[in-house]
Amino acid sequence: MPYETLEDLLDQKLTPETVRQVSAEVAQLSAGQVVDLLERVPTATGALLFRVLAKDRALAVFEDLDAGHQADLISSLREADVIAFFEAMDPDDRVTLLDELPASVAERLLSGLQTRERTLTGVVLGYPRGSIGRRMSPELVSVHRLATVGQALANIRAHLHRAETVYTVPVVGDGRVLVGVVGLRRLLATDPDVPVAEVMRPVESAVVTESAERAARRFLDRKLLGMPIVDHEERLVGIVTVDDALAIVEEADTEDAARQGGTEALRRPYLSTAVTRLVRTRVVWLLVLAVSAILTVQVLEIFEATLEQVVVLALFIPLLTGTGGNTGNQAATTVTRALALGDVTPRDIGRVLLREAGVGLLLGALLGSLGFAVASAVYGFQIGLVIGLTLLSVCAMAAMVGGAMPIIAQTVRADPAVFSNPFISTFCDATGLVIYFLIARAVLGL
């Protein structure tokens, strides 16, 4: 049955017959298809869908949902179901879900866990939000460097069902100090009597307090399957797998994209997000931008007399402010991405400013020449000269501001995306108008 038809069935008044139909149709869908369907229906309807799923399938579907959607469903599901789902989750996934729940609900769920699971979850909860320690799994299998390959394989088999991954196996020395890593393929291809120290390779690791996004991007850049996590004494405490790293980077990119557009990330599927929540993600930014846009109005008021003398200048305001904002946004987007990838650090601000100044001048020369030619042909040489010089100046200024803002944001430990497009557009609008009218006064002798 197509999703649309099943959605229509879920929207009908519930009767025993309707429930039986839904149950029969959902049973034919894969777990991934059920997840897709849940992301398109209201939370209350999703809870109904859960109740007609077999326990094992319901658990698989629940684990595939994002943490925000899981949190919404918890309030609609029976407590016994919630506890069962929560118990079956990995410690790192539990912590991500707990961050989305009210404190009272989180505390009740934690208290219902078995002692071992509660201890593992508490380990992950103990690290700061945003750190890689908060996203690691403490359930891992490691081997001692002095063990043989045969002993290592036996240890892996003994912990096979509890370990987060067995494809990347950390190698430790005395005191659980991380000394290397070995892949399962290498172990299987090696004689059982060979010491692990002879087949291990150098390890790429992360410290528990490192930024989750930075560690995840480095992880993916190295094309690893698993990355061991260590404390400040280099002792092994957990591991991050490729699916965890992908989820971290996806969340970070979603948040950056939203903030660059002047809104907050939804953290839930769009169609199942309440309208009031959509409003809350946008209204604060709109208010901030509306207040900051007053700067542009004040600039126009200051140069009102200049506009009255040469009315034609008003015709070019949208062109100049739009060009400045777009140039700044391009620079900010490029530098924000470079910061996220580690290609640029705050100490590179001087080099970034020089590069963006060069880029801005070249762009300004190209656009300014075109603007000069068109404006001169229609409105005369002097107006053309004003437009050409303004485009040159505005592009250079906007590129430098757009390149510097994300770096300044990271220096003061703010999100670079917050300082990007919305604020840069407003700043460049006001500053660009000041440059425009000052050049017009100088060229036209006003």
Query: Which residue ranges does the chain devote to CATH 3.10.580.10?
Result: 143-250
Q: What is the DSSP code string of 363-414?
A: HHHHHHHHHHHHHHHHH-HHHHHHHHHHHHHHHHHHHHHHHHHHHHHHHTT-
Query: Which residue ranges does the chain devote to CATH 1.10.357.20?
Result: 293-444
Tell me the backbone φ, ψ of residue 11, rounded to 5 degrees: -80, -15
pLDDT number for residue 376: 94
pLDDT number for residue 348: 93
CA 81, 82, 83, 87 torsion-angle sign:
positive
User: Tokens representing 15?
Assistant: 């009767």
Query: Which residue ranges does the chain devote to CATH 1.25.60.10?
Result: 3-127
**Scanning the structure block, which residue is given the tokens 């959509």?**
278
**Strands 226-230 and 236-241, bridge-based pairing:** antiparallel
Tell me the backbone φ, ψ of residue 285, rounded to 5 degrees: -65, -40
CATH superfamily, with its number, for domain 143-250: CBS-domain (3.10.580.10)
Q: How far is CA 189 from CA 64, 183, 192, 227, in A?
A: 34, 10, 9, 22
3-state secondary structure of 101: coil
CATH code for the structural domain at 3-127: 1.25.60.10
Q: Count other C-beta atoms under 10 Å from residue 147's C-beta.
A: 17
* Crossing angle (nearest 10°) for helices 43-51 and 55-64: 150
pLDDT number for residue 1: 44
Query: Is residue 67 a contact partner of residue 99, using CB atoms and an 8 Å limit?
Result: yes
Going residue by residue through the chain (446 aa), what tens digit of pLDDT does each one get? 445 566 666 666 556 666 677 777 777 888 888 888 887 777 777 777 777 788 778 888 888 888 888 888 887 777 777 888 888 888 988 998 888 888 888 888 888 888 888 999 999 999 999 999 999 999 999 999 999 999 999 999 999 888 999 999 999 999 999 999 999 999 999 999 999 999 999 999 999 999 999 999 999 999 999 999 999 999 999 999 999 999 999 888 888 777 777 677 777 777 777 788 778 877 877 777 777 677 777 777 888 887 777 888 888 998 998 899 889 989 988 998 888 777 898 899 999 999 999 999 999 999 999 999 999 999 999 999 999 999 999 999 999 999 999 999 888 877 776 666 667 877 888 899 999 999 999 998 87
- Topology of domain 293-444, CATH: Tetracycline Repressor; domain 2 (1.10.357)
Query: Is residue 206 a contact partner of residue 240, using CB atoms and an 8 Å limit?
Result: yes
Query: Is residue 78 a contact partner of residue 86, using CB atoms and an 8 Å limit?
Result: no
3-state secondary structure of 144: strand
3-state secondary structure of 216: helix
Q: Is the pTM of this model over 0.85?
A: no
